[in-house]
Amino acid sequence: MPGCLADFVLLPEESLIRLPDSVDDHEAAALQPLSSCVAAVAKAKVELGDTIAVLGQGVMGLNCMQLAKAAGGEN
């Protein structure tokens, strides 16, 4: 949504999720890219023995690599 780098932003309530107090702000910030990676690996239907290649080793690339390997993929 526009304004993602703003100090304050108005969002519809259904866009928000309450997190437990045990999840700190740094962990919470990592959840969005991780959830996108989970969706990407699920969409790719990685199975045991599949050969995988992940281009880009930023946060999301590393998350995708770990998730694909956990799903049975080989690098």
| 3 found inside a domain | no
Q: What pTM was estimated for this model as a whole?
A: 0.72
pLDDT per residue rounded down to tens, the chain (75 residues): 566 788 888 888 998 889 999 999 899 988 989 999 999 999 999 999 999 999 998 999 999 999 999 999 986
pLDDT confidence of residue 6: 83
pLDDT confidence of residue 74: 86
- CA dist 19 → 7, 24, 29, 32 (Å): 20, 9, 11, 13
| 27 found inside a domain | no
pLDDT confidence of residue 1: 58
| 35 found inside a domain | no
Domain count, the chain: 1
| 24 found inside a domain | no
- DSSP single-letter state for residue 15: G
Q: Classify residue 11 as exposed, middle or buried by CB count within 10 Å of its CB (0-12, 13-18, 19+).
A: exposed
Structure tokens at 24: 């700190």
Domain assignment of residue 75, given as a range? 46-75
Report the alpha-carbon distance of residue 21 to residue 43 in Å, rounded: 31
